[in-house]
Structure 1
């Protein structure tokens, strides 16, 4: 972000600076966990703490300085020497005319799901609203959390909710995304250590695209593994090849929404119900 801000007229408070003394009110849609304003779209209307020296250090540490165009090198060096103004800092008068409203974020989305779970009479549990880590490992952790909840008994159906953005360390050449990988990993883990109840698990990107695919993510259930095995799929081999897309496609567990026109990171929903069947086979098109 240090390099972005120092090379942009708009980022790092640049928009507020260019607009002053006019009033600016930013409507902020955040895909940044924690909603740090300076990190959302590189903070065009808020103060920036980074400097030209920070940017030079980033390029130098990553051994990229010599690969930069001469014009970029000159700009950064002139900025470090004071010949070019730094980005707008906290306390600058321009921010007296700048305001913002956070209109959407992952946390807001999770809160909305929690409200829906309450309305539908689920006993809801927030696993995390800043979910990160390796997708397939997070899936195992979620399953373990669900098992712990079930040991306490169920007065009513459970909803385990999470939001954030996990990662996938690519080791294979398959097709998929972090949400599809998490869904497949959860189904595999739940086969090895079954939940004593019927369940459905969804992991999806709010922008409608998970990885380089047409799927938003995956939605698996207690019968997904059976459908995969019936299709002749060796699930763990596909997971190791990072090929969750083709597994979920064959078991009809892809979640297809199309582009949503927004992006507030990812959402996970695990519904657990001991009596009424939640699971069903079929394409999950929205």
Structure 2
């Protein structure tokens, strides 16, 4: 069953690879190029430039270059360390995620430097995937990188949703929240996006660098207050947000702004596409299937308990494979190592222990993994467990509860051999949770 569940998970990842997606949006003819369904004669524009950022952007750049070839004048994209692929015309930089580093700042400066060459007769293709909020890091002149890093780290560990985190990020930047378009000099801008957020909200993905922003400085400050970060936030950050609220710093551009009149934005992949592909493979392996329509957005522990309850209370035909997607929130305490997917599976393991599952003949397997191949600050994608895992923890007296309290799922699953490790997948459409009961 464990082999099956990993095959099902991998099918979801394979369906949202840039190589499977970009050919629908980019085409070359003898005398023209097509971008997002719009046809441009080569004599009607001057140059095509490619920019972008995200965990999947290197593979996106590779495919874009493969399709458009010499039609590309120049390009530069930024991805996470270890995600680089070989390209010829598009330069690939690597920077840090989820807390930005100096290379992320350099990457933004290099991107803006390239955009200085762009004119209104050019086309800019902006490739975006999740992770860009950190990988592209610009620091307003009143702030320091250290203060921005500290703020990002506090937000990530606070339990705030990605929407809330990115509201703050957008208001500590001069390119996020639609502001990147200000540097495109009136060129046609096509944004091709792999979505990694619930409901595919365009102004949340990568902090929405090329789309109107619906949030304000006031909203950003309210996030800080909601998660009780006011006392730990760097003073310079609080001061900067307060200046924005008072109108001393320009607000991000909103819907209806003329700035966006030459922009087209397309989501080319999302979590739903991955779920459907996973379901197709599960059916081919002989499982009944159920996709849970609700996207996971709540607390990791609560969501894991709900998933286990649904899986083991299922009364339909079996064996059953239940699939869900999303991105839970995790408020980190303790000094352990792990990520939300590993924590999700560890909570599931604790629930199975409480249910005395070893006293039954039921066979099961449970997996939760990040489609980008990384889960938190670890080399694991997530974790996958079955009856043997539960038996292993009990026989070796591994204190599941202690590992949960310390948010140390990685070290427990490292001992039991249940870490799911794929390496960088070159895509990113949130997380997938899969449960099988036979």
What SS does structure 2 have at the residue aligned with 1:223?
A: helix
Compared CA separation, residues 199 and 92, structure 1 to 2 (3 A): same
| Alpha-carbon distance in structure 1 between the residues aligned to 2:232 and 2:335 | 28
Among 349, 358, 364, which residue is 1:187 paired with?
349
Cα offset for 1:105? 2.3
Structure 1, residues 105-136: CA drift from partner, whole Å, max 9, x if none?
Answer: 22332232223223334221123552133323
Compared CA separation, residues 104 and 250, structure 1 to 2 (3 A): same
What SS does structure 2 have at the residue aligned with 1:80?
A: coil
Structure 1 unaligned residues grouped into runs of 5+: 274-286
Among 363, 388, 407, which residue is 1:198 paired with?
363
Cα offset for 1:2? 4.7
Aligned residue number for residue 68 of structure 1: 236
Compared CA separation, residues 95 and 185, structure 1 to 2 (3 A): same
User: Are the counterparts in 2 of residues 65 and 73 from structure 1 also a CA contact under 8 Å?
Assistant: no
Aligned residue number for residue 142 of structure 1: 307
User: Are the counterparts in 2 of residues 17 and 88 from structure 1 also a CA contact under 8 Å?
Assistant: no
Among 413, 420, 428, which residue is 1:248 paired with?
413
**Counterpart check, 1:13 vs 2:175:** no
Cα offset for 1:212? 2.4
Per the normalisation by structure 2, the TM-score is: 0.54
What SS does structure 1 have at the residue aligned with 2:313?
A: helix
Q: For residues 1-286 of structure 1, what are the structure 2 equivalents within 5 Å?
A: 1-51=166-216, 62=230, 67-68=235-236, 72=240, 76=244, 80=247, 86-149=251-314, 152-154=315-317, 156-193=318-355, 194=357, 197-273=362-438
Cα offset for 1:153? 4.1
| Alpha-carbon distance in structure 1 between the residues aligned to 2:242 and 2:345 | 48
How many residues are treated as equivalent by the alignment? Answer: 267
Cα offset for 1:30? 1.9
Cα offset for 1:264? 2.3
Cα offset for 1:51? 4.2
Cα offset for 1:158? 0.8
Cα offset for 1:91? 1.8
| Alpha-carbon distance in structure 2 between the residues aligned to 1:145 and 1:177 | 23
Cα offset for 1:64? 8.4
Structure 2 unaligned residues grouped into runs of 5+: 1-165
| Alpha-carbon distance in structure 1 between the residues aligned to 2:241 and 2:333 | 36
| Alpha-carbon distance in structure 1 between the residues aligned to 2:322 and 2:406 | 28
| Alpha-carbon distance in structure 1 between the residues aligned to 2:390 and 2:183 | 56
| Alpha-carbon distance in structure 1 between the residues aligned to 2:353 and 2:437 | 15
What SS does structure 2 have at the residue aligned with 1:34?
A: helix
User: Are the counterparts in 2 of residues 20 and 94 from structure 1 also a CA contact under 8 Å?
Assistant: no
Cα offset for 1:161? 0.7
Cα offset for 1:75? 6.8
Compared CA separation, residues 196 and 72, structure 1 to 2 (3 A): same
Compared CA separation, residues 224 and 6, structure 1 to 2 (3 A): closer
Cα offset for 1:201? 0.6
Compared CA separation, residues 137 and 207, structure 1 to 2 (3 A): same
User: Are the counterparts in 2 of residues 27 and 100 from structure 1 also a CA contact under 8 Å?
Assistant: yes
Aligned residue number for residue 96 of structure 2: none
| Alpha-carbon distance in structure 2 between the residues aligned to 1:135 and 1:88 | 34
